[in-house]
């Protein structure tokens, strides 16, 4: 285990050099890893484990789109693709990768098959942290841990196929067997993590819910919309407003920031851009800090969890979701984005 020291704050991380795939394969050689759910994280994690030689099976409702997707991905009914209940029975490690609302619904069945010595694996701390709302309380005689890739299942799979790894956090909630650490790290390596950093279930879900509502999705959309609107009302064309707001950031700048850091970006742009960015970034920080503080308090109080559970459990959730996504999709900014994306060289007919 490596220890990173960030100005006095020490973090435990596990790399693939310290815990190679061969060790993960040895740890998991007698396990049957049952991936329950084949939606957002399920495909990437299951396929990467399969390609890494792990005995993985998929549990999914038959005659569903997700079942058909698993078949299309090469999982075979009766061999490594089963109805959920049979997969739960066969699995020694249950990878519980359904949506948070679906996890609540299915929990009584899952708990039935969590016999002594098995392990319950999550990729999100939601169900355990907010168990006063979810009812997810595992038996005392099973291991409970998580590996949370810092990105979508699609990104996890793409990076795996490119020979790269997506960083993940890991946490152990319950070590009933004495093997929880080896099991969780082995799974983290098997799903294709670049490296794994230590956290807790509570910290994972607090940071995750804050990030999703903040810079990863909610805040970035809000900032995009505000800048686009300002440019448009001052006479800039939709194409110009979109390029200056979204396209340049996502296609040019962020990949370089990811590679080299923001200081490098500042040092390698025009002196005019340098001065403006250095003058204005703290103003944006100070303007948004109260919003982030409010957001974090809402997450920690369980309010965001309650909203999610209430909304996602409604029978007409998808109808309302489609309406909200339609508002985004049909906005001038994202209609301009569609046109701009179609003009990228890789999308042009040869």
193 - beta bridge partners? Answer: 166
d(CA 250, CA 235): 23
Query: What does the domain layout of the chain look like in residue ranges?
Result: 2-199, 211-347
The overall average pLDDT reported for the chain is 94
d(CA 177, CA 145): 12
- The pLDDT tens digits of the residues spanning 34-53 come to 999 999 899 999 999 999 99
The reported pLDDT for the residue numbered 4 is: 66
The whole-number average pLDDT for the span 24-40 is 96
The whole-number average pLDDT for the span 153-169 is 94
d(CA 191, CA 39): 15
Phi/psi of residue 142, nearest 5 degrees = -125, 150
The reported pLDDT for the residue numbered 313 is: 82
CATH class, 211-347 region:
mainly alpha
Q: Dihedral through CA 172, CA 309, CA 300, CA 38, nearest 10?
A: 30
Residues with a catalytic annotation lie at 124
The whole-number average pLDDT for the span 311-330 is 90
- How many Cβ atoms from other residues are within 10 Å of residue 289's Cβ? 10
CA-nearest of 186, 163, 133 to 22 is 186
The reported pLDDT for the residue numbered 346 is: 79
Q: How confident is the model at residue 73 (pLDDT cuts 50, 70, 90)?
A: very high
**What percentage of the chain carries pLDDT values higher than 90?**
87
Q: How confident is the model at residue 11 (pLDDT cuts 50, 70, 90)?
A: confident
Give the orientation angle of helix 201-213 with respect to helix 271-300, to 10 degrees: 130
- The pLDDT tens digits of the residues spanning 176-191 come to 999 999 999 999 999 9
Q: How confident is the model at residue 68 (pLDDT cuts 50, 70, 90)?
A: very high
350 has pLDDT over 80: no
d(CA 74, CA 80): 9
CATH class, 2-199 region:
alpha beta
196 has pLDDT over 90: yes
The reported pLDDT for the residue numbered 230 is: 97
The reported pLDDT for the residue numbered 307 is: 93
The reported pLDDT for the residue numbered 6 is: 66
d(CA 34, CA 109): 14
């Amino acid at each position: 285990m490596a220890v990173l020291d960030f100005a006095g704050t020490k973090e435990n991380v596990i790399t693939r050099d310290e815990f190679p795939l061969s060790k993960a394969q040895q740890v998991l050689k007698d396990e049957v890893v049952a991936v329950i759910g084949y939606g957002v994280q399920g495909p990437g994690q299951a396929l990467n484990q399969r390609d890494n030689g792990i005995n993985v099976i998929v549990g999914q409702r038959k005659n569903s789109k997700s079942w058909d997707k698993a078949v299309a991905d090469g999982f075979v009914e009766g061999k490594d693709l089963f109805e959920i209940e049979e997969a739960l029975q066969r699995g020694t490690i249950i990878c519980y990768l359904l949506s948070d609302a679906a996890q609540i619904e299915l929990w009584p069945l899952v708990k039935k098959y969590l016999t002594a010595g098995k392990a319950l694996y999550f990729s999100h701390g939601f169900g355990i942290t907010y168990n006063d709302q979810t009812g997810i309380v595992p038996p005392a005689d099973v291991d409970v841990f998580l590996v949370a890739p810092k990105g979508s299942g699609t990104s996890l799979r793409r990076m795996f196929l490119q020979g790269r790894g997506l960083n993940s956090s890991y946490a152990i909630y319950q070590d009933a067997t004495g093997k929880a650490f080896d099991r969780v790290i082995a799974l983290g390596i098997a799903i294709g993590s670049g490296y794994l950093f230590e956290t807790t279930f509570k910290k994972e879900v607090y940071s995750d819910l804050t990030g999703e509502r903040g810079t990863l999705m909610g805040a970035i959309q809000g900032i995009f919309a505000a800048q686009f609107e300002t440019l448009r009302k001052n006479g800039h064309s939709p194409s110009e407003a979109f390029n200056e707001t979204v396209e340049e950031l996502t296609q040019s700048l962020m990949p370089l920031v990811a590679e080299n850091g923001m200081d490098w970006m500042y040092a390698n742009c025009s002196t005019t851009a340098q001065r403006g960015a250095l003058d204005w970034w703290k103003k944006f920080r100070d303007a948004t800090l109260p919003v982030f503080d409010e957001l974090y308090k809402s997450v920690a109080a369980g309010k965001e969890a309650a909203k999610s559970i209430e909304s996602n459990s409604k029978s007409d959730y998808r109808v309302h979701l489609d309406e909200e996504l339609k508002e985004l999709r049909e906005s001038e900014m994202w209609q301009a984005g569609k046109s701009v994306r179609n003009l990228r060289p890789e999308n042009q007919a040869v």
